[in-house]
C-alpha cells in the first residue's frame, strides 16, 4: 500500500494559484457546479473541474459502470458494476481531495431537478438521450432564471476534432459539440472526441465563472 502523504489543502491551493493566478483560483473555489450524467461527458467534465479547483461539485447519475464504458469514461476496470456516482467520487478524491462533493445516485427528472440543482451556480448537461437533454434545458431555463446551462450535442465518430466547438445559444445556454453526429446513426463514440467535447464544456464553465461570457 502506498503510504506517501497527501499534500495539504493549503499546498494544493498554492500550486493552483501559481498556475492559474490567485484571483481566478478564488473565483473557482467559490463556485458550485452540478453535473447531470456521469458518463463519457460528465466524468471527464468532473475530472477537469476538480483539477481546476472548483469549490463544490454536485454529481448526479443513476447508472452503474459497465465494461463498455471503460474506453471513454473516467472509471477503472475494478469499478465495473459499481454505481457511477460512487465510483467517480472515489476517483475524484484521489486527484482533488479537498473539493466538496455532493453525490446523488438517482435519475434527474422534471420532478426532482429543482431539489437536485438548486444549490448550483452552473449546470452541465451530460446525458445520452435527447429527451433527457431537452427536459433539463426546459427545467433550467424555466425554473432557474439565475443559472446557466452548458449542454452538449454531437461528438460521435472519428471526424475531425476541429468540428467540435462551443456556441452561445442564448444568454444562459451554451452548446458544445459538432451539432451533427449521433450514435443513433450507427456512429460509435470514441474517447478523443467525447473528451474534446467534455473539455469544451469544462472550459466554458470555467470561463463563465471568471466572468467571460463570450465563446
Q: Which of 69, 110, 107, 112 is nearest to 88 (CA)?
A: 69
Residue 11 lies in a domain: no
**How many domains, the chain?**
1
Residue 68 is assigned to a structural domain of this protein = yes
What's residue 46's pLDDT?
98
Say what the pTM is.
0.95
Of 158, 202, 157, the closest CA to residue 176 belongs to: 202
Report if residue 112 sits inside a domain.
yes
Q: Extract the residue ranges of the chain whose pLDDT is less than 70.
A: 1-2, 183-186
| 15 domain-assigned | no
Give the domain extent around 125: 25-209
Rounded Cα distance, 206 and 210, in Å? 6
Contact between 166 and 152 under an 8 Å Cβ cutoff? The reply is: no
Model pLDDT, residue 188: 84
Residue-wise burial string across 147-158, b where 16 or more C-beta atoms lie within 10 A, e elsewhere: bbbbbbbbbbbe
* pLDDT of 81: 98
112 neighbors 132 (Cβ within 8 angstroms): no
Report pLDDT for 213: 87
Task: Indicate the angle between helix axes 40-52 and 191-209, nearest 10 degrees.
Answer: 40
Does residue 136 lie within any of the structural domains? yes
- We report the CATH number of the domain holding residue 166 as 3.40.50.720
Number of alpha carbons in the 13 Å side-chain half-sphere of residue 14: 5
- 3-class secondary-structure state, position 34: strand
pLDDT of residue 186: 59
Kindly give, in sequence order, each residue whose CB lies less than 8 Å from that of residue 14, ignoring residues fewer than 6 positions away.
Answer: none
Within a domain: residue 126? Answer: yes
- 19 within domain boundaries: no
Per-residue pLDDT at 4? 82
Query: What's the pLDDT score for residue 215?
Result: 84
Query: Residue 2 has what pLDDT?
Result: 63
In-domain check, residue 92:
yes
Rounded distance between C-alpha atoms, residue 120 and residue 60, angstroms: 12
Beta-bridge mates of residue 124 = 35, 150
Give the separation between CA 43 and CA 161, rounded to whole angstroms: 19
Amino acid at each position: 500500500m502506498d503510504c506517501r502523504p497527501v499534500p495539504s489543502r493549503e499546498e494544493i491551493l498554492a500550486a493552483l494559484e501559481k498556475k492559474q493566478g490567485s484571483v481566478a483560483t478564488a473565483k473557482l473555489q467559490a463556485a458550485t457546479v452540478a453535473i447531470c450524467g456521469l458518463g463519457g461527458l460528465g466524468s471527464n467534465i468532473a475530472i477537469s473541474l476538480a483539477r481546476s479547483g472548483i469549490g463544490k461539485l454536485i454529481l448526479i447519475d443513476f447508472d452503474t459502470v459497465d465494461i463498455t464504458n471503460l474506453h471513454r469514461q473516467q472509471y477503472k476496470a475494478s469499478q465495473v458494476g459499481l454505481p457511477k456516482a460512487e465510483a467517480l467520487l472515489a476517483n475524484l478524491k484521489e486527484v482533488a481531495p479537498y473539493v466538496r462533493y455532493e453525490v446523488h445516485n438517482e435519475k434527474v427528472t422534471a420532478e426532482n431537478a429543482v431539489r437536485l440543482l438548486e444549490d448550483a451556480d452552473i449546470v452541465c448537461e451530460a446525458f445520452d438521450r435527447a429527451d433527457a437533454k431537452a427536459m433539463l434545458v426546459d427545467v433550467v431555463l424555466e425554473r432557474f432564471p439565475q443559472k446557466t446551462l452548458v449542454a452538449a450535442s454531437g461528438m460521435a465518430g472519428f471526424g475531425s476534432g476541429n468540428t467540435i466547438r462551443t456556441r452561445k445559444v442564448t444568454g444562459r445556454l451554451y452548446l458544445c459539440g459538432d451539432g451533427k453526429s449521433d450514435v443513433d446513426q450507427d456512429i460509435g463514440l470514441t474517447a478523443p472526441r467525447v473528451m474534446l467535447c467534455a473539455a469544451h464544456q469544462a472550459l466554458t464553465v470555467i470561463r463563465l465563472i471568471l466572468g467571460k461570457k463570450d465563446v
